[in-house]
Amino acid sequence: MTLFMIAAALISSGVGPYNTVLEGNDVFEVFPENHIVLIGCEIAYNAESPGMDDFSERTQGWSGCTDGRNEPHFIFKSEVSSADADGAMQEAGAVAYNNFPVAEAIEKIQSGEESWDDYLDGSVVMAAIRWIDSEGEIREVAFERFFTQLDVGRNGEEIEKEFTPHFVYHGSSMLNGETIFGCLVCQQDCSGGLVCNNSGACCRPVPMLKPDWDLIPAVGTDVTLVMYIMPER
């Protein structure tokens, strides 16, 4: 364990991977034997960012690091660097099976053809948000529960439903050179970040989502992004 990670472990409440809540948005902790990564975040709101209050097909992730160009758009925002977050995921056992930089993703989209190689892939990840509520109790909610999806029913009608992504680690963020996007968890198959929903290939389709501000903790609240990595043996 690095000195930084030891410091991170001290700035927390609770013991162990299942009840630790980090205090501050600039710390993280890794539990390699449990394949769990905790990343400190803060709830943020930017009225000028698309989709904060209404359904939208936004291309920026909802969670990410402040060192990235998408920083103004994150709701679950961390000051942990993208490189440190990626290193923590790998230390916890996350492995990328198929990844590529954004420039290559654009080329794939423009080709007009789609193949298995267009899908980012890697260790399956379950993401959650953990925090201490107003009564002092630890709460943990699956990441996707914070969003409602607008979809099309069997007869073509619009329906609101729960968001049901398939999150995988791909680590493509490190392949984009000096361009850092900063996304930690993205709702679409985008190679700008670390974890994405690879239900579609190369950013298509983009799910139409709306944040549930009745469930999301209040703006300014310290929360912990929990990454449960599912290693394959």
Task: State which residues of the chain have pLDDT below 70.
Answer: 1-12
How many residues in the chain?
233
pLDDT of residue 11: 57
What total of structural domains would you count in the chain?
Answer: 1
Assign 146 to helix, strand or coil: helix
pLDDT digits (tens, 9 = 90+) for 33-79: 999 999 999 999 999 999 999 999 998 999 999 999 999 999 999 99
Pairing type for strands 36-43 and 76-78 reads: antiparallel
For residue 97, the enclosing domain spans 3-230
CB 44 within 8 A of CB 77: yes
Nearest C-alpha neighbor of 142 from the set 219, 225, 211: 225
User: Model's pTM, two decimal places?
Assistant: 0.92
Q: Tokens 């916890």, residue?
A: 92
pLDDT digits (tens, 9 = 90+) for 125-137: 999 999 999 999 9
Pairing type for strands 222-230 and 158-162 reads: unpaired
